[in-house]
Structure 1
Amino acid sequence: MTMKKVLSIFFMLAFTLMVFAQKTISGVITDGDGKALASASVTVEEPGKNAILAYGISNAKGEYKVTVTSSESNLDLKIKAFNQKPITRSIKNEDQKLNFSMDSQATEIQEVRLKTKLITKKGDTISYDLKSFENKNDRTLADVLKKIPGIEVNKDGTVLYQGEAINKFYVNGKDLMEGGYGTVNNSLPKDAVSKVEVLENHQPVSILRDKVPSEQAALNIKLKKSVTMTGRGEIGAGFSPLLWNVKLTPMFFGQKNQWVVNYKANNNGESVENEGNLLAFGNRWEGKRSQVSANRWLNVEQAQTPDLPEKRYLLNNVHFFSANLLTSPFKNKEWELKANVNYTYNDVERDSHTKTAYDDIPANNDLAGRTLEQSRRNDFYTNSAKAELIFTKNAKKGFFKNTTTWNGFWNTNNGFSGLDTTDENVPYISGNQSLQSPSGSFQNSLSTIIPWKDKLINVMSYFKYQKDKQTMKVNPASYTDYFTGLSTIGLYDTYRQYALSETLEVNHSASVGFTFKKLTIIPEIGLNMNFNNLKSLLSGSKDNIYMSLAGRNQNDVDWNELTPYTQVSFNYKSDRLNMNLTLPVNFYSIKYQDNLYNQLADKTKTALEPTFFASYDFASFFKYWVFASQSYDFGNFGFLYGGNVLTSAGNLSQRYVSDLSNSKMPEYLNRNVGTRLEYRNPLNNLFFNVRYNYGTMKRNIVETFATTGGIGGSIGIEARENSTKSQSESAEIGKYFPKFKSNISTSFTNSDSNSFSFFNENFIESKNNVQSWSAKFNNTYFSWLSIDYNISMNWRTNKNATKSTSQKSSGWSHNLAAYIYPSDNHTFGFNWDNSVTSTQGNTYKNPFYDLSYQYTWVKKKIDFELKWLNITNQKIYETVAVNIEQGNTVTQSYKIRPSQFMFTVKFNFK
């Protein structure tokens, strides 16, 4: 199916959904005296049925509007308002304007019961009453968010709404955490929260709110008090081995000031340092901001990690401190100053064993029929710090934001790897590895929007400098010789790989916005500059004397990019239709220069890279989305270098193309289209979405991999035209049943893709199909019992299209958490995890069981918890997978945490 046909289908579907069988009914509602009635509810139903087709509320002028999609010729329209006599009218299913006058009706109330609605919707805001979804064992905001229909929480803490990541996380309307909201989400006591608001189509910049639409939603956490001192703490100890856990997170949320101080440390398998990660990024009008990390040119060989909750396998010793402050320094409360700092020390151990069995086929040459077994052990030492200062004004009459960030990393990684093989001519081989990698980064981002008459002027500036230094040693050198073919056996005892890189990025842009009623047009010009240098040297030592290796084993390369651009953005925003079309023309100029091997290439191209999205609300509860984009990728810094780099102890990277010319420079053309249909009905607590995405990538470069040892080898690139395609279909539905206090949701995804690669000089096309299904269920119907259950299943078919071979594999995992409450003081918990993988008749099951008892001092809100994890003392986790490109089956076994006991005291600060 061509891209043109796919686009035609999408837009035909969009037009059909927006037009077919839709009727609009509007009018004015007044009381008996002719005065406008606000907040009157208007519902439309099919005759004889209780199902609501459309729902609306009259505004302050008494005006209402509902949109109906139905094949019925007649409909029932119902109007209700406080102290007014309800109206029910049979109407025709057609576009019409109907005005109503309601008669007053005083009702004598003998008994009053206040009942909070679970979910309410007003405009683009959906509010969830938090108390309606919690169970007795929940303590924090994150505990409850996972149970709310329409909302998901990923393993890394990212909050999703209708399957998409949120762009902001507010507390009482203020963005204290600036995207790093994991700390608040995991430590804010649920008892301090009154409701969670989802702000759909949220535009974070106030001055653009009615002019530039947004495709993302935001969360606003409404606290019970406007001034709240709260927080969460835990102190625990245990054994097997000696275990400890400390969490202290006091918080303050006021009208002028907010702050959060956080110290968390443990060795019981919880990676609390991830709470400092950026999980939301706002939008481009706030300036450029990203998660900074060290550039990794080199790596020790790493033991793998299983697809399990971290508490099962993470052998850590972590200390994480962070502090976040928001204050309004001036009388004008529109100005805010935010200061964020954090520091991490982390020591992580890993241990895994890999068994690789190669098929008995000629394509694998001397690997055919061979079985390799490799053991890996690691010690990772992480030291990192971050400081950030943000000065912002976000008002309806102007916007200003300046963000200054400094990051530092001082990491040390150690590794050991041992290889055994069924080939009797190859002895057991082992090697020790160490890596020192200090890194530093400084960046400043500025964005301001100034209103001038009926126009908006925006200026943005971004500056970033980063320096990364890495030194890796491998001992003995013969370990590397076996995999990479360096052919220096006996000449050296140790290899040392050195790499130093420097990056300077500068971006400037200016734009002017013109508004015509509901249409805003924004022309923009800008200049993006990127200057990079990489130096590396591979040397060997004999008797502690290091010397350079002969041949192409050092680098001094420059990769510089200069990209002026111009673009125009069309933004349309109305009550139901939001649309953005951005048409940028980028003038790419990329220069690659190898200062040692006299390779020089320039890439220049003028590229149109449009993006488009539109959303349309119809029939009160439906929303339809369309997305499309085209972009180019010309590689990036580190894609090419002329000399060899020992990227790991067993992999030698050779990233150069012989006869390098402009045509051999990387060039990828990406095209993507997608569509999404959403339904969110707070009246019956039902949410669902259906998605389709299709993408193509046209490339002129293919990655290559050659090996004789079977585990490591030589990595490179080769110039060859190839095109890949990917498409996915998914559906998700969730519903809350108030009568049974149950939340049920399920989702299904099907994805198809292909890829190209070289393995031992064989050009291979792979085709992959992955299907996955998941469901979750939680129930608090009984006051003495709560149940949470999650299950996910996957089925994979991997095909080697070049050799017409295929392999199927499958897996599933589930988690059951059940809690029994014999009284308000006592809680008994049971947890059951199980993970299963299967292929070629091999099946590995990995069940885990936990027990817990918790005594609650209700008056003081203090919990005393005793937990027994992994009660069967399982020490190894096993999985099996197939690599169809390389023709092998890989069995992995991982060292996991043994059976352990923990006693923990948990409390709120207030």
Structure 2
Amino acid sequence: MKTKFLIFLLFCCSVITFAQKTISGKIKNSDGEFVPSASVTVEEKGKDAIIAYAITNSKGEYKVTFTSAESDVDLKIKAFNHKPVTRSVQNTSQNLDFTLDTEATEIKEIQLKTRLITKRGDTISYDIQSFDSKNDRTLADVLKRMPGIEVNKDGSILYQGQPLSKFYVNGKDLMEGGYGVVNNALPKDAVQKVEVLENHQPVKILQDKVPSDQAAINIKLKKQVTMTGRGEVGVGISDPAIWNVKLTPMFFGQKNQWVVNYKTNNTGETVENEGNMFAMGNRWEGRRSNASQNSWLSVERAAVPNLPEKRYLMNNIHFLSANLLTSPFKNKEWELKANASYVNNAVERESYEETFFKKENFTEFNIRDNNLYTNKAKGEIIFTKNAKEGFFKNVTSFNQFWNEDRASINLKNSEDDLLNKNSRQTLSSPTGSFQNSLSTIIPLKSKMLNVMSYISYQDDNQLLRVTPGNYVFYPELVTGPGSVPVFNNIFADLPEVSQDFGMKTFEANHSATMGFTKKFWTFTPEIGFNYTGNSLNSEILEFANAPYNQRREDFSNDLRFREAVPYVGLGVNYKSEAWTVGIQLPVNYNMITAEDAGRSVNKDFDKITFEPSGFVQYSFASFWKAALSGNWNYNFATINDLYGGILMSRPTSFSAMNPDNPLSETESKRAGSRIEYRNPLNNLFFNVNYSLSQTDRNLIADIDRGIGFGIISYIEQDNQIVSNSQSAEIGKYFPKFKSNLSLSFRNSTTTSDNARGGEIFENKNSTQNLTFKLNNAYFSWMTLDYNFTTGWGKNSSTFGDSETGSFNHNLGLTVYPVENHSVTLNWDQLNYSSGDQNFKNGFYDLTYQYAWAAKKVDFELKWLNIANKKVFERVFDDAFTYSFERIRIRPSQFMVAVKFNFK
């Protein structure tokens, strides 16, 4: 495996170094004046194929780097009102100056043709009008047709398979990473072009000093001041009645920008995900993350199918958000942003599952029926200054959750009948949190001082109730000092079992960095201190008070956990026209303490670790980029690994940790390589990736399955996980056929040590996926969107081998029989196989739309799930279990809707 990786790296290096040549010089006219904006192209002789190009600057200077195996190439220079020049030159690095004769360019008729994709430096620009089709209405609709770009349903964007670091509109970052709302609601007619900013460093004072290998997107609007947005109102016939309302007005000005968004539906759209942060910026801007609960407890949940959510999600969602950006001072470098959102969502789920446990040799039959309620609110205030003379950013966030989950469970098994049959489960889980992130960069003559501070406080409270509380636990083992608590009696006929849980978490990260720049090099020595403190309290109330031979302490926790990590580090950065290097060299002193006297937990641990990370990127021959990256890091025990009392995380899952076990240590090493090709001249994009990782652990998790429950423990033994993956993706736009075509393949193999019931064994899992996408708008009377993914895999372990396969395709065919009228057929097909069993799931939708072009209003009639399929079936086979699932999905339904633009 390592040999393959080294061969691949040598191949990358050979591609980089093979026949790289650079031609540079100046271009003047016969009057001795410099010629700006002249195009310089390198072409292979006799093939009329451009292999590299450059544009002269205001001083007439050009520089073009290329790779060719030919002994000679053609160099062509073209400029407006000048005679073109073609010269055959040797394939060597050289300096060539040219003098162009002036010649008036005769224009017989005015024809303005915009190039589909252009590249200037690190900026790639897409002309949006060249990619849209008749039924496209929003930015997201058009982006998915552009080569090199992928758009997910929630509005998140990938460029060359990687997530964005920033999303700008007219150069301003209003949404602070939560750009899905804008992407899904910004009318395409308001957009002039889409700019991809490669190697984007968002902090201006660090540009040309601290490099970045991430890309950003800037949406350039047609007007500097734009009032726009998108709305939709729809109702439908079903049981119960259905609705879908979307109202997203937005304003983009030079000083102020705002977006207000309200969406509600019960049609299966998770519109609340549009508010998630997809672009996190970089570390110099401070710390950003999506707010979440520490969800230790949960009810038994029904399975969800691998289908588009609109097929199965039984929801009732209200999502309200508002984003504001303004420049409060005359100095426009200062910006104030205020963001707020509220989500109220109710979800119903229902599934039937048969699970055969291979080692334990019994089968469970489970019917799950859920009602899941989400209430969460978020407020955020951001104050920034981003200038060449300095940087300041402070983010203050408040989050509150009021979640309630319900479950009705019917559980049986093939061996015993003493289970929670027809049990009712409830979970109440309120959470409140506060975060503040500050980062500032102050220039000190030729140096820079960066100070960062992050503090966070979160209070999680959860109460899980199970009614009735009938359990069978075995084997009978006596609880002793320093051992894992186990049940040594049968608990039966309890009217209710309640798990109470509470945890308070405080986190603080502080650091100071000094930056020194010397030519192309920037060195950033850093000193910092990270601290995490947790206070965990839990108790299984009825078990602790029951008159059995069990200690009360076995069913409760009172754990205090602290982790302090002072560290020093050095950042080494290099930035030139072709090379980009970013390396971090931190040394950490890890100190961990954990105390819970009632459970004999008393841990005190310290260790010094060196955890380097970095990347090297090389750009060559105009269109190519090659990169190597890697990291080496350590992770140690968290509070999740150290509680000594029994915890009911789910009504059928109990866990406790052995206090005699050492703290868990995980050492992870990863190396990766990547080659990219982006050629706007022929609209071709592709990338190839290879990744190898190894994780070494000192503890291995073990689950001892009983009838209807499981006990989790840890075995002290060195074990390993080794993963390697290869992927390739190619995308090309064919202007003549108005078609965007992409093909991707991924292969992944993971070998790991696992434990089951005290037995340790090796498990090997390999998966392969092939994906094909086609968007075609060649015919004036038809557009076609087609995606298919096929996957196959094999799992091998002590318990035998299993093979699985899947096929998934999505077809969207739109026909325009009459002007402004369209009919669309959507067909989703998902097939699964395991062994000799096959399941086929097909879904069909039909949509009629009338476009009132003058008013930019659409009237729509939809028939969803024409076949009225009500369940989804699949099988799952792995090292431990074989499962068959039948999941309730949405029935056939009819909808009418009106869609419109705001201005």
In the alignment, the residues of structure 2 paired with residue 15 and residue 310 of structure 1 have an alpha-carbon distance, to the nearest angstrom, of 44
Name the structure 1 match of 2:658.
Answer: 657
Query: Of the candidates 460, 469, 477, which is equivalent to residue 468 of structure 1?
Result: 460
Given that 2:166 and 2:217 are in contact with CA atoms closer than 8 Å, whether structure 1 keeps it comes out as yes
Query: Of the candidates 146, 149, 153, which is equivalent to residue 147 of structure 2?
Result: 149
Query: What is the Cα deviation at residue 542 of structure 1?
Result: 12
Kindly provide the amino acid, as one letter, of the partner of residue 161 in structure 1: Y
Q: More deviation in 423-432 or 204-213?
A: 423-432
In the alignment, the residues of structure 2 paired with residue 828 and residue 417 of structure 1 have an alpha-carbon distance, to the nearest angstrom, of 43
Q: Does 1:838 align with 2:840?
A: no
Given that 2:322 and 2:340 are in contact with CA atoms closer than 8 Å, whether structure 1 keeps it comes out as yes
In the alignment, the residues of structure 2 paired with residue 894 and residue 694 of structure 1 have an alpha-carbon distance, to the nearest angstrom, of 37
**Cα deviation code 1:754-812 (max 9, x no counterpart):** 12222122212110110000010010001110000000011111010x45x21111101
Q: Does 1:46 align with 2:38?
A: no
CA pair 197-545 structure 1, distance change in 2 beyond 3 A: farther
Query: What is the Cα deviation at residue 430 of structure 1?
Result: 3.0
Q: 5+ unaligned residues in a row in structure 1: which ranges?
A: none
CA pair 35-651 structure 1, distance change in 2 beyond 3 A: same
Given that 1:55 and 1:620 are in contact with CA atoms closer than 8 Å, whether structure 2 keeps it comes out as yes
Q: Does 1:792 align with 2:792?
A: no
Q: Does 1:814 align with 2:809?
A: yes
Name the structure 2 match of 1:230.
Answer: 228
**Cα deviation code 1:280-322 (max 9, x no counterpart):** 1000100111111011110001111111111000000010100
Kindly provide the amino acid, as one letter, of the partner of residue 838 in structure 2: T
Map 1:132-531 to 2 at 5 A. Answer: 132-241=130-239, 242-359=241-358, 364=359, 367-368=360-361, 370-423=362-415, 429-479=421-471, 487-490=489-492, 492-531=494-533
Kindly provide the amino acid, as one letter, of the partner of residue 283 in structure 2: R
Query: What is the Cα deviation at residue 883 of structure 1?
Result: 1.8
Q: Secondary structure at the match of 1:552?
A: helix
CA pair 424-291 structure 1, distance change in 2 beyond 3 A: closer
Query: Of the candidates 855, 859, 867, which is equivalent to residue 860 of structure 1?
Result: 855
Query: What is the Cα deviation at residue 275 of structure 1?
Result: 1.4
Given that 1:431 and 1:479 are in contact with CA atoms closer than 8 Å, whether structure 2 keeps it comes out as no
Q: Secondary structure at the match of 2:172?
A: coil
Kindly provide the amino acid, as one letter, of the partner of residue 23 in structure 1: K
Name the structure 1 match of 2:626.
Answer: 624
In the alignment, the residues of structure 2 paired with residue 14 and residue 325 of structure 1 have an alpha-carbon distance, to the nearest angstrom, of 46
In the alignment, the residues of structure 1 paired with residue 594 and residue 409 of structure 2 have an alpha-carbon distance, to the nearest angstrom, of 36
CA pair 9-491 structure 1, distance change in 2 beyond 3 A: same
Given that 1:836 and 1:845 are in contact with CA atoms closer than 8 Å, whether structure 2 keeps it comes out as yes
Query: Of the candidates 752, 760, 763, which is equivalent to residue 766 of structure 1?
Result: 763
RMSD over aligned CA atoms reads: 2.0
Q: Secondary structure at the match of 2:284?
A: helix
In the alignment, the residues of structure 1 paired with residue 217 and residue 874 of structure 2 have an alpha-carbon distance, to the nearest angstrom, of 38
Q: Does 1:903 align with 2:902?
A: no
Name the structure 1 match of 2:482.
Answer: none
Query: Of the candidates 805, 822, 825, which is equivalent to residue 827 of structure 1?
Result: 822
Given that 2:418 and 2:471 are in contact with CA atoms closer than 8 Å, whether structure 1 keeps it comes out as no
Q: Secondary structure at the match of 1:767?
A: strand
In the alignment, the residues of structure 2 paired with residue 406 and residue 768 of structure 1 have an alpha-carbon distance, to the nearest angstrom, of 42
In the alignment, the residues of structure 2 paired with residue 479 and residue 903 of structure 1 have an alpha-carbon distance, to the nearest angstrom, of 50
Q: Does 1:594 align with 2:596?
A: yes
Map 1:667-682 to 2 at 5 A. Answer: 667-682=665-680
Query: What is the Cα deviation at residue 155 of structure 1?
Result: 4.1
Q: More deviation in 168-177 or 76-85?
A: 76-85
Given that 2:418 and 2:470 are in contact with CA atoms closer than 8 Å, whether structure 1 keeps it comes out as no
CA pair 80-450 structure 1, distance change in 2 beyond 3 A: same
**Cα deviation code 1:252-301 (max 9, x no counterpart):** 00000000000000111111111111111000100111111011110001
Kindly provide the amino acid, as one letter, of the partner of residue 73 in structure 2: L
Q: More deviation in 269-278 or 475-484?
A: 475-484
Q: Does 1:120 align with 2:122?
A: no
In the alignment, the residues of structure 2 paired with residue 607 and residue 249 of structure 1 have an alpha-carbon distance, to the nearest angstrom, of 49
Given that 1:577 and 1:617 are in contact with CA atoms closer than 8 Å, whether structure 2 keeps it comes out as yes
Q: Secondary structure at the match of 2:598?
A: coil
In the alignment, the residues of structure 2 paired with residue 555 and residue 650 of structure 1 have an alpha-carbon distance, to the nearest angstrom, of 19
Given that 1:493 and 1:542 are in contact with CA atoms closer than 8 Å, whether structure 2 keeps it comes out as no
Query: What is the Cα deviation at residue 18 of structure 1?
Result: 2.6
Q: Percent identity over the alignment? A: 53
Name the structure 1 match of 2:875.
Answer: 880
Query: What is the Cα deviation at residue 42 of structure 1?
Result: 1.0
CA pair 262-285 structure 1, distance change in 2 beyond 3 A: same
Given that 1:527 and 1:565 are in contact with CA atoms closer than 8 Å, whether structure 2 keeps it comes out as yes
Q: 5+ unaligned residues in a row in structure 2: which ranges?
A: 476-485
Given that 1:24 and 1:95 are in contact with CA atoms closer than 8 Å, whether structure 2 keeps it comes out as yes
Given that 1:462 and 1:508 are in contact with CA atoms closer than 8 Å, whether structure 2 keeps it comes out as yes
Q: Secondary structure at the match of 1:308?
A: coil
- In the superposition, the TM-score normalised over structure 1's length comes to 0.96
In the alignment, the residues of structure 2 paired with residue 280 and residue 547 of structure 1 have an alpha-carbon distance, to the nearest angstrom, of 54
CA pair 519-757 structure 1, distance change in 2 beyond 3 A: same
Given that 1:86 and 1:102 are in contact with CA atoms closer than 8 Å, whether structure 2 keeps it comes out as yes
Name the structure 1 match of 2:730.
Answer: 733
Given that 2:553 and 2:598 are in contact with CA atoms closer than 8 Å, whether structure 1 keeps it comes out as no
**Cα deviation code 1:799-853 (max 9, x no counterpart):** 10x45x2111110100000111123321111000000110111000000000010
Query: What is the Cα deviation at residue 881 of structure 1?
Result: 1.3
- In the superposition, the TM-score normalised over structure 2's length comes to 0.96
Kindly provide the amino acid, as one letter, of the partner of residue 899 in structure 1: S
In the alignment, the residues of structure 2 paired with residue 839 and residue 7 of structure 1 have an alpha-carbon distance, to the nearest angstrom, of 32
Given that 2:698 and 2:717 are in contact with CA atoms closer than 8 Å, whether structure 1 keeps it comes out as yes
CA pair 546-148 structure 1, distance change in 2 beyond 3 A: farther
In the alignment, the residues of structure 1 paired with residue 204 and residue 472 of structure 2 have an alpha-carbon distance, to the nearest angstrom, of 58
Kindly provide the amino acid, as one letter, of the partner of residue 412 in structure 2: D
Q: Secondary structure at the match of 2:577?
A: coil
In the alignment, the residues of structure 2 paired with residue 545 and residue 160 of structure 1 have an alpha-carbon distance, to the nearest angstrom, of 59
Query: What is the Cα deviation at residue 156 of structure 1?
Result: 4.0
**Cα deviation code 1:94-151 (max 9, x no counterpart):** 1111111111111322201001111011100000111111111111111111111001
Given that 2:420 and 2:468 are in contact with CA atoms closer than 8 Å, whether structure 1 keeps it comes out as no
Name the structure 1 match of 2:699.
Answer: 701
Given that 1:587 and 1:607 are in contact with CA atoms closer than 8 Å, whether structure 2 keeps it comes out as yes
Q: Secondary structure at the match of 1:756?
A: strand
Query: What is the Cα deviation at residue 9 of structure 1?
Result: 4.7
Kindly provide the amino acid, as one letter, of the partner of residue 356 in structure 2: A
Q: More deviation in 117-126 or 551-560?
A: 551-560
Query: What is the Cα deviation at residue 550 of structure 1?
Result: 3.8
Name the structure 2 match of 1:893.
Answer: 886
Query: What is the Cα deviation at residue 902 of structure 1?
Result: 0.7
Kindly provide the amino acid, as one letter, of the partner of residue 657 in structure 1: N
Name the structure 2 match of 1:68.
Answer: 66
Q: Secondary structure at the match of 1:717?
A: strand
Q: More deviation in 758-767 or 870-879?
A: 758-767
| Aligned residue pairs, count | 892
Given that 2:155 and 2:181 are in contact with CA atoms closer than 8 Å, whether structure 1 keeps it comes out as no
